[in-house]
Amino acid sequence: MRVFVTGATGFIGSAIVAELLRNGHQVLGLTRSDAGAQALADTGAEAHRGNLEDLDSLRRGAARSDGVIHCAFDHDFSNFAANCEKDSRAITALGAALAGSDRPLLVTSGVGMGIPGPGLPAAEDVFNPEHPNPRKASELAASAVAAEGVNVSVVRLPQVHDTTRHGLIAYAIAAAREKGVSAFVGDGSNRFSAAHVLDVARLYRLAIEKAEPGARYHAVAEEGVAFREIAAVIGRGLDVPLASLSPEDAAAHFGWLGMFAGLDLAASSAQTRAKLDWTPVGPGLLDDLGRHFRPG
Domains by residue range for the chain, with CATH: 2-160+195-221 (3.40.50.720), 162-193+223-267+282-293 (3.90.25)
Share of the chain above pLDDT 70, in %: 100
d(CA 141, CA 122): 20
DSSP string, 169-221: HHHHHHHHHHHTSEEEETTS--EEEEEEHHHHHHHHHHHHHH--TT-EEE--S
d(CA 192, CA 197): 15
Q: Are 133 and 122 in contact (CB under 8 A)?
A: no
Q: Tell me which H or E stretch contains 37.
A: helix 34-43
d(CA 30, CA 196): 23
Write down the pLDDT at residue 180: 97
Q: Are 190 and 118 in contact (CB under 8 A)?
A: no
Q: Are 286 and 293 in contact (CB under 8 A)?
A: no
Q: If you compute the radius of gyration of the chain from its CA atoms, what whole number of angstroms results?
A: 19
Residue 296 scores a pLDDT above 80: no
Lowest mean pLDDT segment, chosen from 26-40, 117-131, 151-165, 186-200: 117-131
Write down the pLDDT at residue 101: 92
CA 100 to chain centre: 28
Residue 79's contacts (CB-CB under 8 Å, 6 or more residues apart) are none
Write down the pLDDT at residue 129: 85
d(CA 47, CA 173): 34
* Backbone φ, ψ for residue 217 (5° rounding): -125, 145
DSSP state of 284: P
Q: At what angle do helices 11-22 and 34-43 cross, to 10 degrees?
A: 30
d(CA 103, CA 245): 48
d(CA 145, CA 130): 19
Model pTM? Answer: 0.96
211 Ramachandran zone, left/alpha/beta (phi>0; psi -120 to 50): left
* Backbone φ, ψ for residue 210 (5° rounding): -75, -40
d(CA 44, CA 49): 16
91: nearest Cα among 150, 141, 156 = 141
Handedness of CA 261, 156, 37, 90 (dihedral sign): negative
Tell me the per-residue pLDDT of 20-60, one tens digit each, with 9 for 90 and over: 999 999 999 999 999 999 999 999 999 999 999 999 999 99
Q: Are 129 and 136 in contact (CB under 8 A)?
A: yes
d(CA 96, CA 145): 8
Residue 14 scores a pLDDT above 80: yes
Q: Tell me which H or E stretch contains 160.
A: strand 159-161
Q: How confident is the model at residue 78 (pLDDT cuts 50, 70, 90)?
A: confident
